[in-house]
Structure 1
Amino acid sequence: MKVTSSEFIISAVRPEQYPEDGLPEVALAGRSNVGKSSLINRMINRKNLARTSSTPGKTQHLNYYRINDALYFVDFPGYGYAKVSKVQRQVWGKMIEEFLTVREPLKLVLLIIDLRHPPSKDDELMYDWLKHYDLPVCVVATKADKIPKSRWQKHIKIIKDALVMRAGDELIMFSSEAGIGKDQLWSLISRHIEDQESEVSETSPSSD
């Protein structure tokens, strides 16, 4: 996909703040400091539209970014940071659960994992939870440029085994710095949006 326009729309904390234009949405979930903001910026060819933070756990809302007036990236709060209070984690968890289970425009969830490290227990729980609700998931392994290519397959196997990845779910290697995986990820996103839109049109009643 060629990105010609991108803009930050809103940091939402309540469903009534979510956009109502019906554009397809792609959610990004992952640990704090796993590189979600950097991934967004690389995907849309911007340096700092999605602001990266040196303070883990700082993102506390659902940040909406509209791309080409055709879809949204929805950046979730990072999870797994110890200094975030238990109460705040519960609030975030409830907000994300409600979003994922009822949000009709949601087409795909990108589970962002640092390729250099085995998935955390929180990563494993998030993947299991997403599959429990039968949500379409792509695992994106970031920071691929930090590991020699000769070791990529070893790290990919560690991730797939830890998550017990289901057949049909893809894993894409990604590097925000080197651009690795960008085209592949856009292709996957476009396919999910197009496939689900065609399903809707096929099941919609005829106007005849």
Structure 2
Amino acid sequence: MRRLALAVRWLGPLSVVLTALFFDAVGASVMMLVCLAITITWRARLPAALEITTDVTVLVAAWSSVFLLYEKYAHWDLVVHFAATAVLAELAFRALERWSRLTPPGPVSHVVVVSSLGAALALVWEYLELVGYYLVDPQVNVGYRDTMGDLAAGHAGAVVAGILGAWARQRAAASGGARPGGDGARRATDDPGAAHDPRTTETKD
């Protein structure tokens, strides 16, 4: 699984090269954003399956723009907003948890936090579409119905991601893996000072 994740990571830089050679600068710029997302998934040390799912989803979203699939298929935009916001919301949660030492929440709080992050990301996405409409391509769809549909689809995806994420952690805890709240055990091993914390070591006379 890890080898597959490594192969998927390289699809990001490869996509930048391909779009720069055979398409246009706009497509290459979009792929650079995809590379950023892929780098974050790698540094966040997600489970391999979640990393692959996230990377493939953002790649599909970007290539759909390059091949004009949003214009060809009426509801493809909503599908991508649902899936992409779902994986990005979970990614944002994991990144916050890892890098800011976010206190591991319980199942309900997990759903609330992930869905809130998803709502924020969906809103930022619409802002970017508006900027793209005015500065890049006036064919970008920014109508009221499109915007509200995108926001609804993105938020729904984030809610589903929060529920699945909380369920996965509960299941891992029940099978003897990480505790329900998060990756506390792994954090202890990631922190070099944790093993030498004088508060957790015993002294011998």
Comparing both structures, which one devotes a greater share of its residues to strand?
Answer: 1
Superposition TM-score, scaled by structure 1 size: 0.28
- Larger C-alpha radius of gyration, 1 or 2? 2
Comparing both structures, which one devotes a greater share of its residues to helix?
Answer: 2
